[in-house]
Amino acid sequence: MISLAISVLWFLIGVIIIGAVIYLAFYVIESFISPIPERIKQAVWLIVLLLALISLLSLLTGSGPALHGFWKS
């Protein structure tokens, strides 16, 4: 049970880091290149949300690699 809690915490840390990287990329692109249309931003965040949901469900069911599984190898 504790391993599941640790896995969920690693998942949350990974989601926060990925979200921060995407936010920073949006910021840099908008600052130095050109504004990004709102629909594109929404599409990117939707894809990130769907991937995070798939990863979380895989983690909880034990049927696939979790987000931190890629960091171990």
Cα-Cα-Cα-Cα torsion 68, 51, 23, 33, nearest 10 degrees, comes to 120
CB 66 within 8 A of CB 10: yes
* pLDDT for residue 73: 42
**pTM for this entry:** 0.74
Tokens read off for 12: 């949350």
Q: What is the DSSP string of 5-32?
A: HHHHHHHHHHHHHHHHHHHHHHHHHHHH
Task: State the number of CA atoms in the 13 A half-sphere of 60 facing the CB.
Answer: 7
Domain segments of the chain as ranges: 2-72
pLDDT tens for the chain, residues 1 to 73: 787 778 788 888 988 999 999 999 999 999 998 898 999 999 999 999 998 888 888 888 876 655 455 544 4
